[in-house]
Structure 1
Amino acid sequence: MLQKLSFRLKTIRNLSLVTHRRKMSSFTNIAQQIKLDILSKTHVDDNIAKRKEISRTFISDTITVPTKEMYEYAALATVGDDVYFEPSTKALETHMAQITGKEAALFVPSGTASNQIALRTHLLQPPYTVLCDHRAHIHKYEAGGAAFHSGAAVTAVIPSNGHHLTLEDISENMILGSDTHMAPTEVVALENTLNGTIFPQEEIITISEFVHSHGKKMHLDGARLWHVAAETETPLKELCDPFDSVSLCFSKGLGAPIGSCLVGTQAFITKARWIRKLFGGGMRQTGILAASAAYALSYNFPLLPAVHELSRKLEAGLEEIGVEITSRAETCMIFYDPSSVGVTYDEIADRASDLPEPLILGGSRLVLHIQTSESAVQDFLSVVGKLAKEKKAAGFAKPEPPANGKSVYKDIYVRRASKKIA
């Protein structure tokens, strides 16, 4: 009897071992299928090449990459969960609220998220309209977010002075009163910088006083407000004071890999955090991203004046060649029209791409950033200069302006157009 029981137990044990081995074999196969190594044998060299390419890219300042030092600093960040509490992220939010003079701040994945969360938080009950510049990112380059997320109409205004909205532009286009045919203006959204140009602070203050006198809200898309602070030497608090909410980006201009901050009152940010969750923007271990942003504030912001100086150097070089500047280098962007020397954007791009170290261009807009090299600027000017000389040798002559003094070139807003505008 004992022998039979022992045999049965041994048989069960052997079957269990077989089953266990089969399961382990199956799991090993599944684990092997799931396994992934994204680091190629050449990725270090590839990254070196990419950094070189970025130093010669003029399409946007979003293409900047973290440095070795930023990575090392970020790796030391805390590892909390931001939906609950993340110490490094909280420290960044506290600092952003302090330097902007607001009560609270919220870290979000992108500038678009920040703007759209702000609108959804401000806009309580439709019908309503958002008033902004017709070139504004919040209107043209956020995939119709105001309509989709908030059900808001947009009043897109062309500045009468061709540069920035004025009080007259705002007052003439704000929808007030009780006419049921029209959705009333609830938020006026300004952008600073816009296409690299600085919105005069005196005008902003005047607009803010008018808007608030009617009980409406002011939002600022300040993705590149860092440039305004650097160029005008104005504290961020002063730049943000006229607004109920402000969005500031860490990846545009400052070179962080990702992230923006939305600032406002404590009640506003409490509601915005809820909207962020609703939009799917609640994040987990954001400490490493917050630390990257903190590093950018400390070490990359001081680099912006040099970017502006290099932009002015590029602008002066283009004018010396005879190229028309359609939007000047107030900060980090230049818009230009090479048709004044008989050259097209495609010709410049083709010649630039054939250089031993190619340049990457994006039409009428040139964007400089903290990783733009001086040699890239010199090479770009050399390309345009040589093409201009070739055109002149072939018989091109710059048209004389008409007697009425009006430009023979296309409307400024058409010439400013660019496929990649972020």
Structure 2
Amino acid sequence: MPHTPYETLYIARNAADTFIPATAPSQYVASSASGPIDLTHPQGTSLSANTRAVAASIARPANPTLRNLHTTARLTMGEFDQYSAMGSKTVPNGIPSDGTAWGSEKNPAAFDLRSDVHTTPTMSMLRAIQQCTLLDDVFMEDPTTLSLERFIADLSGKEDGLLVLSGTMGNQVAFRAHLTCPPHAVIVDRRGHIVNYEAGGVATLSQAMVQSLDATNGTYLTLEDIQKYATLSEDVHSCPTRMISLENTLNGAIMPLSEVKRISAWARQHGIIMHLDGARLWEAVAAGAGSLKEYCAEFDSISLCISKGLGAPIGSLLVGTQAFIKRSRWIRKSIGGGLRQAGVVAAPMRVAIEETFLGGKLAQSHKNAKRVAKIWTDLGGKLQYPVDTNMVWLDLAAHQIEGNSFIELAEKYGVRTGSGRLVIHYQIGEEAIEALQKVFTELLTGKESAGKLAEAPHDPEDLKLKGKGVE
């Protein structure tokens, strides 16, 4: 049968080192270490040669012991759909208590422009969880997870990959793996996630000094910005720059591949490590700024978030050399990031990459963002930054509009926003854009539109944050 990207989600491994269908009986007893590899697809068709090779490449234990495998009872697809539609939290009569249930027709993400972290997993992502393998990733035995890590390594052009629980974990593990002997300093953009939203982890975990720089062009760091402040001296009074950490995209703006190459060439000339917080690198690639492999080639390590714009429920991936990933796996374990049945995390991540990124869904969100920006500017509104990808930054201050007033008005029209930053992720629907047009019209012209609620329930935390604390 034709190869499908999810074939490896259907196999599990027993004590005899035999790959078995995930829907097979639950009791298996080892007989020998050289038992046959059964790669029968649970639907009765043969797996592709590629999937056989992936399964066969996973190392066998030297001395397998007798044991029984416990497999959880599996629902049929129809049963799973019914369960998903009801949601994991229901009231006694089985009716979903709100619009956040699995498979609910009302997707709250379609009206939530605070951040792309609010995307929700699709049904195909949730189905992948049901079909994944349930073996131990700390022991590197889970086929679903190992397959994902090989897949992202190939997609990015790097030697190896590692599943981590979040972008913050990916960045911090990378820093700790690279920075082994203080004193050392890291150059970052002052507006970056690593500086503002990772709880000072660079200092506490890697004992590194952070050199926060301002981008003179207001959009992205240049080689000249970095050269001005990098410390190359070995004088005992100095803290030498050992790493440059860039973020792309940052505030929705793309760092051009040409500038990345300039910085990378200079860094390598001086033995400085290059790391990329690529949580939203997918957006730069979707915008045509360069391929994933072209960007990743300029860095020693890259953290790629799958739970933001791509829509997976959880997870990021770290890529780099085999030696780097080996050490990163060790660091990940030391901070509590080792997972047992990691397949439930890895499976929807794989679907998210293929369905959202490779499936071309990000490009439409960029068009929608430009459309939202045009609605605002056509009414006389000013923008803080150019719209390169899926973020629209409204310059509220230029119009003497307070952030809290904007948030409250938007919620009365049924959309949730931050204080001027609108993230038009791929799950934002037409209704949300129409609601934004009404919000903009009232803000800039004073004219109310139909559909506004006199009182709208809102989260007081939205007002406390004043646009900050959102990733």
CA displacement at 1:139 relative to structure 2: 1.4
| Correspondent of 1:326 among 380, 384, 389 | 384
Structure 2 length as normaliser, TM-score? 0.74
CA displacement at 1:354 relative to structure 2: 2.1
CA displacement at 1:330 relative to structure 2: 0.7
Corresponding residue for residue 47 of structure 1? 100
Corresponding residue for residue 154 of structure 2? 98
Deviations 1:352-402 (A, max 9, x none): 2223xx21111021111121112211211211212321289xxxxxxxxxx
**Does the alignment pair 1:315 with 2:373?**
yes
CA displacement at 1:45 relative to structure 2: 5.0
**Does the alignment pair 1:67 with 2:122?**
yes
Q: What aligned pairs does 1:218-297 form with structure 2 within 5 A after superposition?
A: 218-232=274-288, 234-297=290-353
- Cα RMSD (Å): 1.8
Identity of aligned residues (%): 40
Name the SS of the counterpart of 1:65 in structure 2: coil
CA displacement at 1:346 relative to structure 2: 2.5
User: CA–CA distance in 2 between the matches of 1:311 and 1:379?
Assistant: 14
Deviations 1:56-77 (A, max 9, x none): 1110001111122221122111
Q: What aligned pairs does 1:333-412 form with structure 2 within 5 A after superposition?
A: 333-355=391-413, 358-390=414-446
* Structure 1, 331-340 or 274-283: larger mean CA deviation: 331-340
- On the 8 A contact 1:342/1:388 being kept in 2, the answer is no
**Does the alignment pair 1:157 with 2:213?**
yes
Instruction: Structure 1 unaligned segments of length 5 or more: list them.
Output: 1-36, 393-416
- On the 8 A contact 2:257/2:290 being kept in 1, the answer is no
CA displacement at 1:216 relative to structure 2: 1.2
Report which of the two has the higher share of helix: 1
Corresponding residue for residue 410 of structure 1? none
User: CA–CA distance in 1 between the matches of 2:401 and 2:234?
Assistant: 53
User: CA–CA distance in 1 between the matches of 2:399 and 2:221?
Assistant: 32
Name the SS of the counterpart of 2:373 in structure 1: helix
CA displacement at 1:345 relative to structure 2: 2.6
Q: Which amino acid aligns with 1:269?
A: I
Highest CA radius of gyration, 1 or 2?
1
User: CA–CA distance in 1 between the matches of 2:441 and 2:447?
Assistant: 10
Q: Which amino acid aligns with 2:127?
A: E
User: CA–CA distance in 2 between the matches of 1:170 and 1:339?
Assistant: 30
User: CA–CA distance in 1 between the matches of 2:218 and 2:137?
Assistant: 43
Higher relative contact order (CA 8 A, sep 6+): 1
Deviations 1:17-68 (A, max 9, x none): xxxxxxxxxxxxxxxxxxxx95433337533679433211110001111122
Structure 1 length as normaliser, TM-score? 0.82
User: CA–CA distance in 2 between the matches of 1:201 and 1:125?
Assistant: 31
**Does the alignment pair 1:421 with 2:421?**
no
Corresponding residue for residue 175 of structure 1? 231
- On the 8 A contact 1:323/1:339 being kept in 2, the answer is no
